[in-house]
Amino acid sequence: MKIERNVGKVDVIIRMVAGLPLSVWGIYAGSWWAALGIILIVTGLMRHCTVYSLLGISTVRKRRD
């Protein structure tokens, strides 16, 4: 089963830039924020966000043919 990509390049960068320090800080502080940071990183790496799918959102640019 192929998962449709709905997270674009800029969105991936934002998720990585926000997710990495958030997860590191959350782990250091023993906070649930670490889980949010890890979710951002995973969705960025997979280029798929389930919440986006449920809302019908896609930040992937359409190719011009």
Which tens digit of pLDDT belongs to each residue from 32-64? 999 999 999 999 999 999 999 999 999 999 877
d(CA 63, CA 49): 20
Would you state the pLDDT for residue 62?
83
Length of the chain: 65
Would you state the pLDDT for residue 43?
96
pLDDT band at 17 (very low <50, low <70, confident <90, very high): very high
Give the global pTM. Answer: 0.86
| Residue 41, C-beta contacts closer than 8 angstroms, at least 6 positions apart | 15, 16, 19, 20, 23
CA 25 to each of CA 15, 44, 58: distance values in angstroms, whole numbers, following the listed order: 15, 19, 29
